[in-house]
Amino acid sequence: MQDSPRQVPPMLTKKKFSYAFIEIIQTILIAAAFYFAIDAVIDRVEVFNVSMEPTVMQGEVIFVNKIAYKLGDVKRGDIVTFHFSLDPKIDYIKRAIGLPGDEVSINDGKVYVNGYELVEPYIHDLTSGDGMWVVPVDMYFVMGDNRLESADSRSWGFVAKNDLIGKALAVYWPITHVRVLNHYDLLPQVQ
């Protein structure tokens, strides 16, 4: 005698389908929640100009910590992203050189803050232009690392604290360029 194939009652098939459907929906909702949580903290920015070379190259994509300056302060040497005050739809990436109250001066290609020459291992050329600026409250003096090819605070002024987007953390694209970005302490250690 041969056994006939067992048939699964239609009710069990329906329950399995409902359970699988609920699991898929839950997985999608959890993935969406993670995406939006990460997106609230991390921004992804593509670099479109050469003003930060060799630190960040044109075409690289970087992670930016959007809550860094909501929880802490900008430090000299931080690589910051911000909305350009003359056209807020444009975002820039530069290095913070002068903090509120600092006196920034450029003489003979060297940059000074409060009378101290900055230690800047990331630049290859002397800084063009001479001048002196006192950074107002809630503002920052920023410059690109490629000093000869950077439009920055030397030409268009200070960056307002409210225009800051965040602190650049790492290059993640292209994959062959992945690296953590260096934020230097620019002032010499005074004893």
Alpha-carbon distance of 4 to 9, in angstroms, equals: 15
Beta bridge partners of 112: 105, 117
For residue 87, which phi and psi values (nearest 5 degrees)?
Answer: -155, 90
Residues 6 or more apart in contact with residue 93 via CB below 8 angstroms: 45, 47, 51, 52, 56, 62, 79, 80, 81, 168
How far are the Cα atoms of 32, 61, 90 from residue 36, in angstroms, in the given order? 6, 19, 23
Annotated active-site residue in 94, 105, 150, 167: 94
Mark whether 4 is an active-site residue. no
What sign does the CA torsion over 86, 88, 89, 94 have? positive
CB 62 within 8 Å of CB 181: yes
Q: How far apart are the first and last CA of the chain?
A: 98
Tokens at 107, concatenated: 């003489």
Mark whether 94 is an active-site residue. yes
Annotated active-site residue in 16, 51, 85, 110: 51
Active site residues: 51, 94
